[in-house]
Amino acid sequence: MVWKAVKKSNKREYAVKVMDKATIFNLRSVDCILNEHKILTSIRTPFIVNIHYAFQDVRNVYLVSPFMQGGDLRYHMETMKKR
């Protein structure tokens, strides 16, 4: 699930990707999530939206990136398949 959030100090909009830890473990996706974090925090290119913050609580993992209106690449690829 992705939420839109606004940082109070600078009024910037961010996308907050929320992932349930239990689901990550059940799907054996821990390595995928760690790789996503590693790649999106290290690569610098105008074609990929980077992660600015990552944190967790007891139940969820959160990845925070700049908000980009219009959806992610997967959404657009699925939309194109249906045409």
Looking at the DSSP bridge assignments, the partners of residue 64 are: 16, 53
pLDDT bucket at 78, cuts 50 / 70 / 90: confident
Both tokens of 60, joined, read 């969820």
Q: Which of 14, 34, 23, 17 is nearest to 59 (CA)?
A: 23
pLDDT over threshold 80, residue 63: yes
pLDDT, tens digit, 9 for 90 and up, residues 15-43: 999 999 999 999 999 999 999 999 999 99
pLDDT bucket at 83, cuts 50 / 70 / 90: low
Mean pLDDT along residues 42-64: 93
pLDDT over threshold 90, residue 12: yes
pLDDT of residue 21: 97
